[in-house]
Amino acid sequence: MTVWQQVLGVPEVSIHDHFFDLGGDSIKAIQVASRLLQVGYKLEMKTLFRYPVVAQLGTHLTAVTRTAEQGEVHGAVPLTPIQRWLVERDPVDLHHFNQAVMLYREERFDRVALSVAMQHLATHHDALRMTLTQAEDGSYFAWNRKVADGELYRLDVFDFRGEPGWSEKVEAAAAELQGSISLATGPLMRLGLKPSRRSRLDVFDLGWTFSISGVSPDGAKRSKPLPLSCKAAFR
């Protein structure tokens, strides 16, 4: 119930509460599964959708007994379920199938702190270094790059203040960032910092990740370690 409280942002949860009645959705379901994994329990998405009440769900959690490799994972890896789903759809522009979000922070985003946080994430989460290449026979294979094999992310700064067509240029910059991601070569994450008209820094976050919870620019700025859960590598 504590996990539900944290993810759903509600003060209390009873064993009779319904996940979706409390504001749950598919994204929050993934966050619940992730947090449960951190405390030693595995939850399948279909299980939560089938048993959305706490009292029902409790008996369907699986204790995790296997610990994934905690060192750097590199080399050939099997396609993940979501990668298999994607390539089976045979989209026209595979590389453009990514997530994008624009964030605003009153206290400003610090470029150095963001760089530290993104480097730490890409080092810890092996899948953020994964490339996806199509062979001559049409099949796809995945490869986990080493941390030292190239860019782990890219961070650009755009300043259009005082220029005509400000909003159009911001939209064009965001589109360029999103369209530049290459699954074959990486990096899989691109960020763009731009001073807003209020003299603050906004950030575009582009990549194959929809959640940056756990990224703490303030902590990075103060040289504090970024607390991340143990790896759960799909291998």
Flag whether pLDDT at 136 surpasses 50: yes
Of 60 and 200, more confident: 60
pTM of the prediction? 0.57
Residue 204 has pLDDT above 70, yes or no: no
pLDDT at 211: 34
Quote the pLDDT of residue 215. Answer: 45
User: Binning pLDDT at 50, 70 and 90, where does residue 208 land?
Assistant: very low
Q: Which of 97-111, 163-177, 219-233 has the highest mean pLDDT?
A: 163-177
- The pLDDT tens digits for 142-196 are 888 888 888 888 888 888 777 888 788 888 888 888 778 888 888 888 888 877 6
Residue 95 pLDDT grade (very low, low, confident, very high; cuts 50, 70, 90): confident
Average pLDDT estimate for 24-31: 84
The pLDDT, as a whole number, for residue 101 is 77
> Which pLDDT score, from 0 to 100, does residue 230 have?
59
Alpha-carbon distance of 212 to 209, in angstroms, equals: 8
Report, in angstroms and rounded to the nearest whole number, the Rg of the chain calculated over CA atoms: 20
> pLDDT of 41-89, one tens digit each?
888 888 999 999 988 888 888 887 655 556 677 788 788 777 888 888 7
- In the chain, what are the domain boundaries? 2-63, 75-221
Sheet holding 201-207, edge to edge: 99-104, 201-207, 189-195, 154-157
Q: For domain 75-221, which architecture applies? A: 2-Layer Sandwich (3.30)
Which amino acid is residue 96, in one-letter code?
A: H
In order, the DSSP letters of 105-148 are -TT---HHHHHHHHHHHHHH-GGGGEEEEE-TTS-EEEEE--GG
pLDDT for the residue numbered 39: 78
- CATH 3.40.50.300 holds for 2-63: no
pLDDT for res 200: 47
pLDDT at 111 over 60: yes
Band of the pLDDT at 199, cuts 50, 70, 90?
Answer: very low
Residue with tokens 């067509």: 165
- What mean pLDDT is predicted for residues 112-128? 85
Instruction: Read off the pLDDT band of 229 (50, 70, 90).
Output: low
Residue 43: predicted pLDDT: 86
